[in-house]
Every structure is written in structure tokens, then in C-alpha cells.
Amino acid sequence: MLEKLRECVTYGEKLGAEFVEARYDDLVLRTLQRTNDAWKDIILRSRAGAGFVCYCGGASGYSFTSSDTKEALKKTVAQSVKMAKASAKATSLKLDFDKQAPIKSRKADTYPVKIHPQQKGLDYKTGLVNRAVETARDFGKNINNVTGWYGELYGRKVFTNSEGSDINWDFEIVDMRCLVISRMSTGELVIGIEQAGGTAGLEVFQKKGSKPEDIGKAAAIQATEQLKAKSCPAGKFRALIENTLGGVLAHESFGHLSEGDFVVIGGSPLAGKIGKRLGTEHATIVDHGTPDIEKFGGLWVPFDDQGTRAHKTVVLEKGIFKHYLHNRGTAKRLHEDPTGNCRAVHFGFMPIPRMTNTYFAPGDLNREEALELLDTGVYAIQTSGGQVEDDGSFVFKAIRGYWVKNGKIQEPLREVALSGNILELLTKIEGATKDLFIQAGYFGGCGKSGQAPLPVGTGAPEVVIGEVTFGGKAD
């Protein structure tokens, strides 16, 4: 395939493209879902396709195809040249970039897993789900519904360009989840959910805390506890944000604002803020394509879809804004280096600046010290998602929580929404624990410009925040 792509790059240049990027993905996606006693999904998807970005006059055009014949690929690159030429006539903000030495991938660029999902049959994977679901049933109360999921995504990613880069590596991710829904005596439904996964082999489900039984049990215990949980009061409170919720906050509310495409058009409130203090000394946010997965978890992205090698980019360092996240064009425009953040969800989309693993850096507190620092407020845990606006406003849904009084955990709280503006919130971070955890998975992912779900890692320690708005019930 690499040879075919190289021919297309040459062909695109002959047709007038100043620069051509060619990529081909050949991926396998598997989803298993069991709800109660019935298997709802046993799905295998083969996703293969090619995409070409052509550049003319500082503008870009993109064309894609799911065919891999030489004729179809050449037709597609020709179409991409036409799109770029048409764009060039209207473009007034040009995103050129400097040429660089070709990049060649190595064998070590593929993350080494011990038990690759390809090595195990379907019965092994359905067995994982069954173990989680059955354990959840054993530990749950007033169960209305139990769902277990297993997902895997793996395959080859191939890339070349006008510089002669040759990149060839394997993407891989596995995921297991269990959701327990229990019914309260009032008839209302409450949930508990647990997950494990990321770029890892199936050995991850043999580790303590990530075994199917551990996942099922944790989900059931959470749902059971929620049966007696109270609604979170509405208003502004001090907060302790748990790791996975903190990670989503770092990604959604701050990470997106630092993406170069949003900055070059003047849209991001972070435009022109390099070197400015945006947060307290406890606020450090990093994006890293190849984190220490063994230690923290996460996703392995050694190259982006523009052929740039992964970087560790410190976006915010002890409250000072340091760097944006780029593709090659936005990096040049903003006088920074590319950061390996140009990604596409699949061959049907042009790669755009996206995050890889984005996380709050750890602090120096332990859990007890964090609760003590919190004093009285809400300990908000896990998230079912959230939404952000261009100005940094956000809403995130914490799945559950606890009311904390004088540093001691009190009654459990129901699902609650947190809202505010990230730029205000960063100024209220008072401390963080030592335990960084980066969550990544097959299910869900990041959405931007219609491209979803892109696998990403989101991480954080537990973070103490001086004030957060909780949208609960008015008295």
C-alpha cells in the first residue's frame, strides 16, 4: 500500500499540488455488548480507506475513498488537488508550512502488548463480559438492568508525503465496561459504572482492579450506594474532582481552547496568551502522545495523521500558558513547533488539530490531605460526559459524589452537573494528589467538527478547587 500511496503523491504533485499527504488505514473494530441475559451486539467492523490532503497556495483540499485500487486512489488524489485549487482562490488566511527531513517509522513505534486481541477468540472476550455481568448481579441490589461491554480497535496506519516520509505502525486499544442500573423505592433509577482499558493487551484484564470481576463488582456497589444517595444541592461549593472527571475537564474545557486551528482564526480566548498567568501554581496541563502507559494508563499515538512524531507538550505550566497544540500549518503561523496533534477520526475526514493524552499533572497531596484541604464541599466522581463552549464555559456531568464536611466524607450524592468557565476555574485550583490516572478506551471519545468518536486519553490526579457551580435542585 505504501508504494501505491507514493505513486499518488507523485501524481498529485504532477497535477499541480505543492505538497501531498497520503494515508491509508486498515483497522478492525470489535464491539461486544450484553444486556441482562441477551447479547445485543457481537459486531466486527473492517474499516479501510485512503485519504489525501493536497496543498495549493496556502489552502488545502481533501478527498477520500474506501477503495484501494490504484485507479480509485489516483482519481481521489486528483479530486483533492481540484478541491485545494478551488479553496486557494477564496482563502485569505494561508497556512503554509516549512519542509522538513523525511520521517521513517521504526518497529518500536508500535506499542508492545503481551496478549494482542488478535490472539484470542471471540469466546474468550464474551467470557470477559459474562464474568463482569455475573459479578455485578451478585453484588447489586434492586437491579433493573446490567450491561457489559468489550471493545477493541487495532490495525495498520500507513502514511507518506511529498517529503518522502514512510510511516507504518499499528494502532491498538481495548476496553471493558459494566453499567448497573438499580431502581429506588420511589421508582427512580440510579446507575453505577466502571471501566478499564486503553492501549494495552488483554493482560490488562488480569490486573487487580481491572479484572472483569472487579469491574462488575465496582459498578454494582456504586449503584447500590446510589439507592440511598441524595440530590446535590444547587449552588457554589468547594470541590474535590476525582481523576476521570478531572481528565475530561482538562481535555474538554482547556485542551480544545489550545488547539491551533481555533487560535489562528482568533476564536480561542487563549489567542495571544502565551506567557500569561492563567491559573494557580497547582495548574499544569500536558498533552502527550506516548505517555508511560504502564504507570498511568492512556493511549499510544506515536505519530499524528500528518506524519509528525508524538510530542510531550506542556500547555500550561504552574499556571503559566506555554504552548498550543498544532498541525504543521498552525504551528508555522503561530511561530511554534508542530506538536503531533493533527488527527482524523477515520479516512473520511481531513486531519485537524486534536488532542492525544491530555492531563492535569499530579501534585503532592495524598487523599486524606486533599479531603482536609477541601474541608467542606462536594467530592465529584466520574463523568458521563460534558459540553464546552468557545469561551471556556463548560458543563460536565459527574455520575456520583459525596458531600464532605470538615474533611470527612458524609452522605453519597446523586448525579450532578458542574458548570463554570475553565479560565476562572484554573485560578481556583488549590492542590492536587500524587496519583495521576489517564483513562482511555474504545467506547466514546472526542468530538470536533463532526469527527467523532476519536480515541483520546484524559487524565488527572484528584484536584481541589476553591469554587465550582453545581446545578442541582433549588429549595
Partner 1 sequence: MKEKIDYENLKDELLSVLDSGLKSARKKDHAAEFELYVFYKHSTRVDVKQGVVEATDGLVEGNAVRVAKNNSVSFASSSGISTDRIERSFNEATASLKAVSVKDERFKGFCEPLKPGREGAFSSEILNLSKERLIKYSDGLVKEAKKFDPRVLYATCTCSTDWGGFAVGNTLGLQQASRSASNACQIYCVAAKNEERRTGNEYDISRERVIKSEGLGENAAKQAVALLNAKKLNKTQIMPTIWPPIAASSYLFASLGQSASGRAVVEGLSPLSGKLGKKVAHPGLTIVDDGQDPSSLSTETVDAEGHPQERNTLIEGGVLKNFMFDTYYARIYGAKSTGNCSRGGVFGSSLPYESQLSIQPCYIKVTPGKKSMEKMIKSIDGQAILIADVPIGIFHSDVATGEFSAVAQSVFLVEKGEKKYPLQPVSVAGNFYKGFQNLVDIGSDSQRTPFQTETPTLTLDGFSVVG
Among positions 279-318, residues that touch partner 1 (CB under 8 A) are: none
35, 110, 280, 427: which one binds partner 1 (CB under 8 A): 35
Check residue 39 for interaction with partner 1 (CB under 8 A).
yes
Q: Which is nearer to partner 1, 256 or 282 (CB)?
A: 256
Judged by CB under 8 A, the residue of 40, 104, 106, 367 near partner 1 is: 40
Identify residues 445-464 at the interface with partner 1 (CB under 8 A).
Answer: 449-451
Phi, psi of 225 (to 5 degrees): -65, -35
- Nearer to partner 1 (CB atom), residue 130 or residue 280: 130
Using a 10 angstrom Cβ sphere, with 0-12 exposed, 13-18 middle and 19 or more buried, the burial of residue 46 is: exposed
Interface pick for partner 1 out of 60, 195, 284, 290 (rule CB under 8 A):
60
**Which of 350, 361, 371, 380 touches partner 1 (CB under 8 A)?**
350
* Residues 407 and 380 sit within 8 Å (Cβ to Cβ): no
The contact pattern for partner 1, residues 185-204, with x = CB under 8 A and - = no contact, is: --xxxxx-------------
Binding residue (CB under 8 A) for partner 1 from 110, 142, 393, 427: 393
Q: 126 vs 372, which CB is nearer to partner 1?
A: 126
For residue 44, what are the contacts with CB-CB under 8 A and spacing of at least 6? 28, 29, 30
3-class secondary-structure state, position 351: coil
Q: Residue 452 corresponds to which amino acid? A: A
Cβ contacts of 272 within 8 Å, gap of 6 or more: none
Nearer to partner 1, 321 or 394 (CB): 394
Rounded to the nearest whole angstrom, what is the least distance from the CB of residue 110 to partner 1 in the complex?
A: 23
The smaller minimum CB distance to partner 1, of residues 298 and 386, is found at 386
User: Could you give the string, one character per residue 231-270, with x where binding to partner 1 holds by CB under 8 A and - elsewhere?
Assistant: ---xx-------------------------x--xxxx-x-
Q: Do residues 242 and 462 touch, judged by C-beta distance below 8 A?
A: yes
Q: Report the residue number, 214 or 252, with the smaller CB distance to partner 1.
A: 252
Please, which residues have CB within 8 angstroms of residue 276's CB and are 6 or more apart in sequence?
Answer: 320, 321
Strands (E), 57-165: 59-65, 143-161
Nearest to 444 by CA among 31, 66, 23: 31
Residue found under cell 498529485: 12
Q: Is 47 in the site for partner 1 (CB under 8 A)?
A: yes
Q: Is residue 110 a contact residue for partner 1 (CB under 8 A)?
A: no
Could you tell me if 200 and 208 are in contact, meaning their C-beta atoms sit under 8 angstroms apart?
no
Q: SS3 of 318, please?
A: coil
Residues 406-425 that bind partner 1 (CB under 8 A): 414-417, 419
